[in-house]
Amino acid sequence: MTNTFRASTEDAGKRLDQYLAAHLDDVSRTRVQQLITEGKVLVNDAVAKASLRLRGSESIAVLEPASRPPLRAVAENIPLEIVYEDGDLAVINKPAGMLVHAGAGDAENERNRRTLVNALLHHFRSLSNVGGDLRPGIVHRLDKATSGLVIVAKNDSAHRSLAGQFSGRQVKKNYIALVHGWLKLDRDTISSSINRDRIRRIRMTTRRRGGREAITHYRVRERVASPFGKFSLLDVEIDTGRTHQIRVHLASLGHPVVGDTLYGAPRHLSVSSSQTAKSRPAKQIPEETLSLPRNFLHAASIQFDHPKSGARLEFVRPMPEELEIFLTALRSPRS
C-alpha cells in the first residue's frame, strides 16, 4: 500500500521527516526516518534524505505501510532465578544485562528477544494482561544494567493491587550502590525533580523545571580509599520510581554510580603502578586498570503486601558475584 501526498506552499521550508510525521497517523518521527533511510519514501519519484527541505510543490510517496503491526512477546527458554512464586505473583532476581521488556521503537529482531518477559512467558503458564502484549506481568522495571528483585503479576487482579501499592508508595525498595568519591554527608535525602534531558533524550536530568517529583534516601555504608580513587558504598531507598532515578540523583551530587558512563562515570578506572614501584622510571611503569561492564547498582530488597492475603512480604538478595569481586579488587592494596 502506497500513501501519496502533495506538499503545499504552506509546507515550504519544512524538513521531509517533519512533514511526514505530521501527516501520517500514529507514526513517530523515528519510524519516518527509518522509512526514509530504507529508501521507502520518494520525493518526485526520487529517493530523498530526511533533512530535505520542501519547496512546497513536491509529490511525496510512502511505499509501504508506515505503521508496523503490534509486537507480541514470545516465550524463550532463558534461565531465571525465581526467588518466590505462588498463584498470584512471582519475585525474580534479574541479572544485569537483561532488559525487562522490549521497547516499541526498537528493530524487530532486537526488541523482542532475550528480555525478562521472554523468559517469564516460558516459565509461567499465565501472566497479567494489564501491560499489554509486550509487557505481560510487568508491574515495575529495573534498568538493563541494574540487577536485583522484580515483582511479576500472574493475573490482572494482582497486577492492579501491586500497581496501586507502587503508586501509593507502600512498596519499600532498597538498593546497594557504589559511587565515585566520598559524599559529604553520611546520610541524606535527595528530592530534586526529574525530567528528560533536552539534548540527550536517553538521559534524565534534575536541571530542567517541570519534572516529576522524585525522592531518594541514601546512607553511606563504607568509604573506600583505593589506588583507583575514592568511592562510597551506599544503601539507597527510594520513595518514587522515576526513570534512572538513583543514577541521575547521585550523579547530580557529582557522585555517579560506578560503571554508569551515561551519567559521567569513567569506562575504566586506572592507577599507575608507580605507587608501588617508585624505583623504576615512570615511562617503564605499566598502568593498572579496572572496569565494570555494568552499573554498580543492585536492587537488594523489596517489601510489599500480598495482593490477595494482605500479608507483608519481604525478599532480600545479596550483591551478585561480579560486584563482590569488583569491590574486593578496589579494597585490595596494590603490590
Which residues carry out catalysis?
A: 143
DSSP helix/strand/coil, 183: coil
Cα dihedral across residues 210, 212, 213, 216: positive or negative: negative
CA distances to 89, 255, 327, 331, 335 from 225, rounded to whole Å, are 42, 15, 11, 7, 16
CA-wise closest residue to 291 among 318, 269, 323: 269
In a 13 Å sphere around the CA of 84, the CA atoms on its Cβ side amount to 17
Distance of CA 45 to the CA centre of its chain: 41
Per-residue DSSP letters for 187-229?
Answer: EEEE---BEE-SSSTT-EESSSTT-B---EEEEEEEEEEETTE
What percent of the residues of the chain are helix, what percent strand, and what percent coil, each to the nearest 5?
20, 30, 50
Distance CA 312, CA 110 (A): 38
Per-residue DSSP letters for 236-290?
Answer: EEESS--TTHHHHHHHHTT-PBTT-GGGT--SSEEEEGGGT-TTS-GGGPPEEEE
CA-wise closest residue to 319 among 287, 294, 282: 294
Decide: 178 and 331 in contact? Cβ < 8 Å: no
Q: Which residue type, as a one-letter code, is found at position 64? A: E
